[in-house]
Amino acid sequence: MAQAQDRKISAPAVNLETQHFWDGAAEGKLLYKKCTQCGEPHFYPRTHCPFCFSDKTEWAEASGKGTVYTYSVMRRAPIPYAIAYVTLAEGPTMMTNIVDCDLDSIKIGQAVRLVFKPSEGGPPVPMFTPA
């Protein structure tokens, strides 16, 4: 049993392209981008669709449901933590942390749900916990 503890989370770098994403995070929303030309969702969000290269992309809100694609518990850290890729119900896979659980219980394929954790001097950061 290795219960996850809260660690200090660095403030995410915010720029004019991602300000809307972080404004959404402050309201408890996880946003991603969807292309209005080819229909593909993508993550991390950017102006140009990385599939068809259209600049006609729009923001969408994720349900917050996902599954663990892969993960690793960093043991050689002052506070061990679990880094992961979570595949959102909407399709894209994003890097994240799995928090508020026994780190030894995390499994690939596990259902997880969105939570937000405060960062140091920045907007809250989307993370996941077992559903």
Partner 1 sequence: MSIKDKAYIVGIYEHPTRLATDKTVMMLHAEVAAGALADAGLTKNDIDGYFCAAGDTPGLGQLSAADYLGLKTRHIDSTDVGGSSYLLQVGHAAEAIALGKCSIALITLAGRPRAEGMATGTQPRAPAVPMPESGFESPYAPATANMYAMAAMRHMYQYGTTSEQLAWVKVAASHHAQYNPHAMLKDVVTVEDVVNSPMIADPLHRLDCCVISDGGGAIILTTPEIAKSLKRPLVKVIGAGEAPKHQMGGKVDLTYSGAVWSGPLAFAEAGVKPADIKYASIYDSFTITVVMQLEDLGFCEKGQGGRFVSDGNLISGVGKLPFNTDGGGLCNNHPSNRGGLTKVLEAVRQLRGEAHPKVQVANCDVALAHGTGGSLGTRHAAATVIMERE
- Provide the token pair at 44: 């991390």
128 binds partner 1 (CB under 8 A): no
94 binds partner 1 (CB under 8 A): yes
Q: Nearer to partner 1 by C-beta: 91 or 131?
A: 91
Q: Which of 24, 41, 64, 66 binds partner 1 (CB under 8 A)?
A: 41
- Provide the token pair at 84: 């992961």
Closest CA relative to residue 94, chosen from 30, 14, 16, 6? 30
Query: 26 and 124 in contact (C-beta within 8 Å)?
Result: yes
Query: 104 and 6 in contact (C-beta within 8 Å)?
Result: no
Interacting residues with partner 1 (CB under 8 A)? 7, 9-15, 17-18, 21-22, 32, 40-44, 46, 49-51, 69-77, 81, 83-85, 87, 91-97, 108-109, 119, 125, 127
